[in-house]
Structure 1
Amino acid sequence: MRSIRAALAAETGLGAGNVLTTLVERDLDLDRPALTFDREVDGVPAGTAVTVRRLDELVRARAATLHARGIGMRDPVGVTASSVGENVLTFLALARLGAIPALVNAGVSPEITARYLNRVGVVTVLADAARRAALSSTELSTSALSGLTPVETLGTGDPADAPEPYRFHGDDPVAITHSSGTTGVPKAVAHSHSSLFAAIRHRLRMPKAQGIERVLSALPAPHAATLIALNLALCSGSELFALSEQTGRSVVEAIERWRPSGVFGFAATWSEMARTDLRGRDLDSVALWWNTGDCAHEAHIRRLISHGHRTVFTREGRVRLPGSVFIDGLGSSEMGHSHFHNTHTTETDRYGRCIGRAHAFAEPIVVDARGNELPHGEVGELATKSPTLSLGYWNDSVSTHRTRVRGYFLTGDAVYRDAEGYFYHVDRVVDSVDLGGGKRLHTAMSEERVLNACPDVADCTVVAVRTGTGVVTDVLVQLDAAADPALDRTAAVRAALGEDVAATLREVVVVDDAQIPLGPTGKVRKVALRERYLADLGAR
């Protein structure tokens, strides 16, 4: 009998919108435990494993309710709730109807959420109690506001009343997720049935990766990465435990309680874990850490791979070794999946913000400001082609076309490529500062160097602003629990930054977490920090 992976790999019409319904139609191991949520949802207690068969019943109940309320094919529907269970079940129910869920992180402010959903043009909004109360006083469009629906009541429908599953075409929009929104109103990123599944299809043709048997997802619930992780788990016969909160403490506690073999997350999660005292914590079950979104810092990776284990194959057979595997890369909502992979273990040493080589399905290049490809070693903007790329920005053709050149998507990341085909990420283009004379200050690379030079610094943020007299840089450091806050680290930081950047350094400041403004996915809002520092400098 063929495995689930092999059976699904042969399904030409399979995509992000119909994995669950295909499993049911093909009767593929429906009574295996598939999904666990950290909060009660639709009568399923928190921490209870749901089988594929039971998951289908829960989804059909929601689809029946939504269908009875007139939701159908091509309807864009806003979804905002803090519970990962509400997000996942609602996505699956709307996909069954051929509707288009516009998933909004519950951490986005009500005012920004309303402006975003108005721009998307949703026909209704499905929200939990807290978000309904918050949105009721905003300028959400009249039609959407009148359609505010309690997301927690959708599961009361009769599964038997659900209509037959919508039959997807590859180009059909299957979901709208949003960018990080660190510079204002997030962009609405439209994903297709095929694009959001292209990387999974690639993986189904390969041997099952070590560490995905039992996966803890610390990915933000409304993000495209969660939808990919969900479908990857369903296609791979894996168990997935999805967390609604991605704090360092909550992830560590979930690892100890649920004993996953793999943990999926963003760089912000590993950063928070680095600020958590891991001494004496039981992380031995973990064989794999999988990172997407921003690439991770070496200091954070090294802390994680010192825990757990990995299995290697030798002449003597399978051998279990101490120390786990960390798969790094670089991705975004628009890229649809990380386009790179770099494998770290305790025995490897390719760091320096190396995001690795490209996946077989991706074609990245480095370009200058006019879109011309740059040679090896020169820093430019990352441009990439891939079947995973999103359709573009919903209701925003101007931004869609501005970020495309010769079929490539311009990611906004400053990178370079070496002669071996490895790519290195130095900064976001908007965060990099021109120092003149052909020299630049790259904030992300500067943070990497400070973290490597100061072991007692758990995380840091470099804030560089241009004033009338030049560039001024502050380094904000968040300390390890055992560090001495009174210690002067200026000399070590100055040496780590290098001569050109060190010449702009004003001060090194010890800060706590509350002083670093974060976006809804945990990404540092550097634009907000720059505005704050410019205002402060102007007042002096």
Structure 2
Amino acid sequence: MYITQGLHRSMQQQPDAIAVRYQGNGLTFAEFGGRVARLAGALRSLGIRDGERVAMFSLNSQRFLEYLMAVPWAGGVLNPVNIRWSAAEILYSFEDSETAVLIVDDTYRDTGAQVAADCRSLRHVIYAGDGETPSGMLGYEELIAQHEPVEDALRHGNDLAGIFYTGGTTGFPKGVMLSHANLYTSAMNSLMAGSLGKEARFLHVMPMFHLADFSAVNSLFISGGRHVIVPSFDAGTMMESFASEQVTDVLLAPTMIQMGLTWLEQNPDRAAQLDLSSLTGIRYGASPMSQALLARLRQRFPKAGFMQGYGMTELSPAATFLLRENHSDEAVSSGKVRSVGKPVNTVEVRIVDPDGKEVPRNTVGEIAVRGPNVMLGYWKQPEATAQAVRNGWMHTGDGGYMDDDGFVFLVDRIKDMIISGGENVYSAEVENALASHPAIAQSAVIGVPHVKWGESVHAVIVLRTGASTTLEDIQAHCRAFIAGYKVPRSIEFREALPLSGVGKVLKNELRKPYWNQ
């Protein structure tokens, strides 16, 4: 298994088919593969050898897609940069991984130059923008034009394919080492689940540095589907792209879904002009989605099939899928739609106690995963690896339970669980109750210090445009759905919630004013 295998196959079997569309332009598989092979030749000429790290700090683009294939083609190891990080976090990840080459676009050119000036391991910076190449950098297009294509290095199997850094919000990030086999089997699991076939036109609107999008990249290259790319998420641009490119499939975080639906509601005249009928596959993940939001989505796209993925970077990234058939009216009424589905084809999942022993069905414990998707380990952190992966099982840190039919229900990150007066409160359950309140657009629930109970339930709320409510009204609403001890004891209103690059709410940022005193 090697992650360039699908590209090779499409270059042979459908060289004239469109591989990628970006900013109104298209490249065939033959054209795209030729650029990849030339970029790989340039990287080899810059001294990149088998296993050496190459980073990209960029918005989504055709060149980002070329990077994802050219680095392994050259024998190197991918190190995509989280665009939400500070210069200090990026510098740490580069020096920790001994990254040798950095590719930057126009948006991050200046920050990239700042990091490069301080980084001891970087030998070259490549400018992948559209302006004049800055002094001290190499031009991306010039490198492709000046170098001949090279043969694929064909690193494969358990060879290291990428280091994907996680965290960075508290302490130093950890580099997750994923092999070619990790990434390839994860991509195949998506295809076996019935998504992203040869006729797919997939919109890359999630950031391409994120592993969830990279998994879709690999699935599409294997199947021969089309990549449609927008630089970053914008609700209006996304909807326009669905129509203009006749997109069939997309992967979104729930926050993106909410913003997209809100855009359609706030722009009814433009929305009425958009033909969105091609969109038949909507995949979601990265954080839990409320039942109220899912109901809105199903109502707006009644002919679309929905699929949820649950996992983490350390799992390459998928552990379970809630398939299209599990989003039916029957699944909604039975409650199965509230689950994250069943283990993907090549993976085992079990729910364990603190000693690693499997707990009975319908009992909350920690979700543990075993299979060929489990990471090689954390870069240069053998102790952290040994703590996370025990007897072949990746301990996710997520709390959940498995029902009698084998569906996995996610209740919370174990570290996010609120213990109030000796009772466990799972924030996701409270957030689901809040989501059905007509005035609430978004919410995040955290535990805050309390003298008597240790912690109390606190809700941070973003209201719908023009809406208003009170603590008492919210509490009365929640009591109809959850037990009294789970009802928020305090609230605060904000214009927006702090989000990561893929739409996850940064709860640690919300906790800081309460716990860092």
- TM-score higher than 0.5: yes
In the other structure, the counterpart of 2:509 is 528
CA 233–486 in structure 1, closer or farther in 2 if over 3 Å, else same: same
Give identity over the alignment, percent.
Answer: 23
Q: What aligned pairs does 1:333-412 form with structure 2 within 5 A after superposition? A: 333-342=313-322, 343-345=326-328, 348-349=331-332, 350=335, 353-412=338-397
Q: Is the 8 A contact 1:295 1:329 kept in 2?
A: no
Q: Is the 8 A contact 1:212 1:262 kept in 2?
A: no
Count of aligned pairs between the two proteins: 494
Counterparts of 2:13 and 2:56 in 1: how far apart (Å)?
30
**Residue 17 of structure 2 corresponds to residue 32 of structure 1:** yes
CA 205–291 in structure 1, closer or farther in 2 if over 3 Å, else same: closer
Structure holding more helix per residue: 2
In the other structure, the counterpart of 1:294 is 287
Q: Which runs of 5+ in 2 are unaligned?
A: 130-138
Counterparts of 1:224 and 1:126 in 2: how far apart (Å)?
18
Say which of 518, 521, 525 aligns to 2:499.
518
Deviation at 1:417, TM superposition (A): 0.8
Deviation at 1:299, TM superposition (A): 1.9
In the other structure, the counterpart of 1:316 is none
Partner SS, residue 460 of structure 1:
strand
Deviation at 1:458, TM superposition (A): 2.2
Letter in 2 for 1:527: N
CA 204–378 in structure 1, closer or farther in 2 if over 3 Å, else same: closer
CA 456–180 in structure 1, closer or farther in 2 if over 3 Å, else same: farther
Q: Is the 8 A contact 2:434 2:474 kept in 1?
A: no
Say which of 121, 124, 140 aligns to 1:154.
140
Letter in 1 for 2:449: R
Counterparts of 1:56 and 1:510 in 2: how far apart (Å)?
50
Say which of 421, 424, 434 aligns to 2:409.
424
CA 209–23 in structure 1, closer or farther in 2 if over 3 Å, else same: closer
CA 172–86 in structure 1, closer or farther in 2 if over 3 Å, else same: same
Deviates more, 1:351-360 or 1:192-201: 351-360
Counterparts of 2:499 and 2:196 in 1: how far apart (Å)?
33
In the other structure, the counterpart of 2:214 is 227
Say which of 278, 283, 291 aligns to 1:285.
278
Counterparts of 2:315 and 2:466 in 1: how far apart (Å)?
39
CA 138–54 in structure 1, closer or farther in 2 if over 3 Å, else same: closer
Say which of 10, 13, 19 aligns to 2:6.
19
Q: Is the 8 A contact 2:60 2:207 kept in 1?
A: no
**Residue 108 of structure 2 corresponds to residue 128 of structure 1:** no
Deviation at 1:427, TM superposition (A): 0.7
In the other structure, the counterpart of 1:110 is 87
Letter in 1 for 2:495: D
Deviation by residue 1:313-334 (Cα, 9 ceiling, x = unmatched): xxxxxxxxx4322111311111
Q: Is the 8 A contact 1:217 1:265 kept in 2?
A: no
Counterparts of 1:295 and 1:15 in 2: how far apart (Å)?
32
Deviation at 1:232, TM superposition (A): 1.4
In the other structure, the counterpart of 1:306 is 299
Say which of 144, 148, 166 aligns to 1:179.
166
Deviation at 1:257, TM superposition (A): 2.9
In the other structure, the counterpart of 1:476 is 460
Deviation by residue 1:150-208 (Cα, 9 ceiling, x = unmatched): 23422322376122111223111112222254434332111111110103334556767
Letter in 1 for 2:284: N
In the other structure, the counterpart of 1:6 is none
In the other structure, the counterpart of 1:415 is 400
Q: Is the 8 A contact 1:477 1:508 kept in 2?
A: yes
Say which of 428, 435, 439 aligns to 1:444.
428
Counterparts of 2:378 and 2:211 in 1: how far apart (Å)?
14
Partner SS, residue 441 of structure 2:
strand
Counterparts of 1:532 and 1:135 in 2: how far apart (Å)?
31
Counterparts of 1:476 and 1:497 in 2: how far apart (Å)?
18
Letter in 2 for 1:457: I
Q: Is the 8 A contact 2:20 2:62 kept in 1?
A: no
Deviation at 1:63, TM superposition (A): 1.8
In the other structure, the counterpart of 1:10 is none
CA 23–214 in structure 1, closer or farther in 2 if over 3 Å, else same: closer
Deviates more, 1:174-183 or 1:89-98: 174-183
In the other structure, the counterpart of 1:466 is 449
Q: Is the 8 A contact 1:60 1:160 kept in 2?
A: no
CA 177–67 in structure 1, closer or farther in 2 if over 3 Å, else same: same
CA 415–393 in structure 1, closer or farther in 2 if over 3 Å, else same: same
Deviation by residue 1:411-458 (Cα, 9 ceiling, x = unmatched): 111101111111101111111122244x21111221112113x13422
Deviation at 1:346, TM superposition (A): 5.1
Deviation at 1:135, TM superposition (A): 4.2
Deviation by residue 1:58-90 (Cα, 9 ceiling, x = unmatched): 212322322221122111122211233332211
Q: What aligned pairs does 1:313-332 form with structure 2 within 5 A after superposition? A: 322-332=302-312
Partner SS, residue 397 of structure 2:
strand
Counterparts of 2:249 and 2:9 in 1: how far apart (Å)?
25
Deviates more, 1:108-117 or 1:149-158: 149-158
**Residue 69 of structure 2 corresponds to residue 92 of structure 1:** yes
Q: Is the 8 A contact 1:330 1:340 kept in 2?
A: yes
CA 151–208 in structure 1, closer or farther in 2 if over 3 Å, else same: closer
Partner SS, residue 503 of structure 2:
coil
In the other structure, the counterpart of 2:29 is 52
Counterparts of 2:282 and 2:330 in 1: how far apart (Å)?
16
Counterparts of 1:78 and 1:193 in 2: how far apart (Å)?
17
Partner SS, residue 306 of structure 1:
helix
Deviation by residue 1:333-352 (Cα, 9 ceiling, x = unmatched): 11113221223145640357
Partner SS, residue 472 of structure 1:
strand
CA 209–144 in structure 1, closer or farther in 2 if over 3 Å, else same: closer
Q: Is the 8 A contact 2:20 2:227 kept in 1?
A: yes
What's the RMSD between the two structures over aligned residues? 2.6
Letter in 1 for 2:292: A
In the other structure, the counterpart of 2:154 is 167
Counterparts of 1:119 and 1:133 in 2: how far apart (Å)?
21
Partner SS, residue 399 of structure 2:
strand
Deviates more, 1:77-86 or 1:358-367: 77-86
In the other structure, the counterpart of 1:457 is 440
Q: Which runs of 5+ in 1 are unaligned?
A: 1-13, 38-45, 309-321
**Residue 232 of structure 2 corresponds to residue 245 of structure 1:** yes
Deviation by residue 1:351-383 (Cα, 9 ceiling, x = unmatched): 573111112211000111121111111111110
In the other structure, the counterpart of 1:264 is 251
CA 509–259 in structure 1, closer or farther in 2 if over 3 Å, else same: farther
In the other structure, the counterpart of 2:57 is 80
Counterparts of 2:42 and 2:499 in 1: how far apart (Å)?
36
Counterparts of 2:374 and 2:229 in 1: how far apart (Å)?
25
CA 425–274 in structure 1, closer or farther in 2 if over 3 Å, else same: farther
Deviation at 1:256, TM superposition (A): 3.1
Q: Is the 8 A contact 1:352 1:448 kept in 2?
A: no
**Residue 241 of structure 2 corresponds to residue 254 of structure 1:** yes
CA 464–99 in structure 1, closer or farther in 2 if over 3 Å, else same: same
Deviation at 1:288, TM superposition (A): 1.5
Counterparts of 2:504 and 2:191 in 1: how far apart (Å)?
31
Partner SS, residue 328 of structure 1:
strand
In the other structure, the counterpart of 1:193 is 180
